[in-house]
């Protein structure tokens, strides 16, 4: 039995499984090798946000492969279903905001709680956003995805629990101002006109003016909404401020906003590949997005990309072995029983991940 090992996400673990490699945090052993996982141990592991994989024993190689395939698909379906349910609730919440209902903040808190219950495993969330994105829904499902990514980045930046909660409020509501703009603009199949774009660029102020009126809500939430399109070099909107003038929440939401938008189909363009997405984040970290926050984001995202099965433009299947932070879209692959460095084969590129 103990000859086969599989690396599982924490949410995939079940009581009775046996730990194959000791689990450490800050160079301290938390759980030793060959320990049987109990309910208490499982709760402890789920509380460790930085823990992404646990090695356990499994009966056979065939069981290992089948387990991973079935479980990955089921996980993706489950989180997609949950996100869509939360999305419907967010739509209703935004309608109540427009009608000035007083119970809105209670609903935002509940949606945040639901969302945070889903984001304890970063791999599942990144998987969902890479495979599905937010589609053509640039308000509600986009808001859910941006909130999920912002929540993860907040944890990776080691923000305290209350700050992460407020950050998630701000991310959920970051595009609430779009509800004040004609839907026809967002549903156009062609690129926006200059006048359309001018109208769209008003949504941070519209959203800020709505949310700042909520009583007993920390001002950091409305500021994150107001500034999420500001850029480090002052090229953003609506204020054109730069650097330290941009609040912390806005810097985080900006990265999440860009990542989801790139990974999503829109009425006027198709989604980019997962590698184009991280390449754009890397490029924009020089002058547009916060450099340090981008580095933290990318370092964790790269862990998700490593070991993934992919299809090349030749329709060949390959596995990602190593990635270069300076050329994120040209990793080292293993294909046809040999290594293939995409940096040396410019005619080849990765088309998509394999689930």
Q: Is 61 helix (H, G, I), strand (E, B) or coil?
A: helix
Out of 64-78, 227-241, 273-287, the most confident range is 227-241
Which pLDDT value is given to residue 1?
43
Tell me the pLDDT tens digit for each residue of 113-158: 999 888 777 888 888 888 888 888 889 999 999 999 999 999 999 9
Which of the two residues, 53 and 330, has the higher pLDDT score?
330
- Residue 268: pLDDT band with limits 50, 70, 90: low
Between these two residues, 170 and 77, which has the higher pLDDT value?
Answer: 170
Angle at 253 between CA 193 and CA 261, to 5 degrees: 45
Identify the residue whose tokens are 């994989």: 53
pLDDT at residue number 50: 56
Contacts of 185 (CB under 8 A, 6+ apart): 192, 196, 199, 200
User: What is the reported pTM?
Assistant: 0.79
| Distance (Å, whole) CA 225 – CA 157 | 20
Sign of CA dihedral 299, 304, 310, 313: negative
* Non-local CB neighbours of 280 within 8 Å, separated by 6+ positions: 258, 262, 272
Phi/psi at 184 (5° precision):
-60, -35
> How many alpha carbons lie under 13 Å from residue 317 in its C-beta half-sphere?
5
Instruction: Return the higher-pLDDT residue of 61 and 18.
Output: 18
Q: Which of 7-21, 68-82, 162-176 has the highest mean pLDDT?
A: 162-176
As a whole number of angstroms, the distance between CA 312 and CA 349 comes to: 6
Greater confidence, 330 or 191?
330
Distance, in Å, from the CA atom of 121 to the CA atom of 155, rounded to the nearest integer, reads 12
**pLDDT band per the 50, 70, 90 thresholds, residue 33:** confident
Nearest to 260, CA basis, from 138, 172, 114 = 138
Residues whose CB is less than 8 angstroms from the CB of residue 283 and which lie 6 or more positions away in sequence, other chains included: none
Q: Each residue of 279-294: pLDDT tens digit?
A: 999 999 999 999 999 9
**E strand or H helix that includes residue 309:** strand 309-312
Q: Is the pLDDT of residue 296 over 70?
A: yes
- Report the candidate in 337, 126, 226, 335 with the shortest Cα–Cα distance to residue 348: 335
DSSP tag of 275: H
């Amino acid at each position: 039995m103990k000859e086969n090992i599989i690396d599982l996400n924490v949410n995939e673990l079940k009581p009775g499984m046996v730990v194959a490699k000791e689990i450490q945090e800050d160079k301290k052993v938390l759980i030793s090798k060959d320990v049987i996982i109990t309910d208490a141990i499982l709760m402890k592991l789920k509380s460790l946000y930085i823990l992404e994989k646990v090695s356990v024993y499994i009966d056979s190689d065939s069981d290992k492969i089948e387990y991973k395939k079935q479980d990955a698909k089921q996980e993706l379906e489950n989180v997609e279903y949950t996100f869509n349910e939360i999305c419907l609730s967010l739509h209703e919440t935004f309608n109540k905001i427009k009608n000035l209902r007083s119970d809105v903040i209670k609903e935002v808190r509940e949606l945040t709680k639901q969302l945070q219950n889903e984001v304890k495993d970063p791999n599942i969330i990144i998987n969902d956003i890479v495979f599905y994105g937010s589609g053509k829904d640039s308000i509600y499902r986009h808001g859910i995805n941006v909130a999920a990514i912002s929540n993860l980045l907040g944890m990776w930046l080691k923000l305290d629990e209350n700050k992460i909660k407020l950050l998630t409020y701000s991310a959920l509501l970051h595009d609430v101002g779009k509800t004040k703009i004609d839907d026809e603009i967002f549903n156009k199949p062609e690129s926006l006109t200059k006048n359309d774009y001018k109208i769209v660029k008003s949504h941070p102020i519209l959203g800020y003016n709505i949310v700042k009126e909520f009583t007993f809500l920390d001002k950091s939430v409305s500021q994150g909404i107001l500034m999420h399109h500001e850029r480090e070099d002052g090229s953003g909107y609506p204020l054109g401020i730069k650097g330290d003038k941009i609040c912390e929440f806005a810097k985080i939401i900006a990265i999440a906003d860009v990542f989801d938008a790139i990974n999503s189909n829109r009425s006027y363009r198709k989604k980019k590949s997962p590698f184009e997405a991280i390449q754009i984040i890397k490029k924009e970290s020089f002058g547009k997005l916060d450099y340090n926050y981008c580095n933290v984001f990318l370092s964790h995202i790269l862990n998700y990309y490593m070991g993934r099965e992919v299809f090349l433009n030749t329709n060949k299947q390959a596995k990602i072995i190593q990635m270069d932070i300076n050329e994120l879209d040209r990793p080292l692959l293993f294909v046809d029983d040999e290594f293939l460095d995409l940096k040396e084969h410019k005619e080849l590129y990765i088309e998509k991940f394999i689930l």
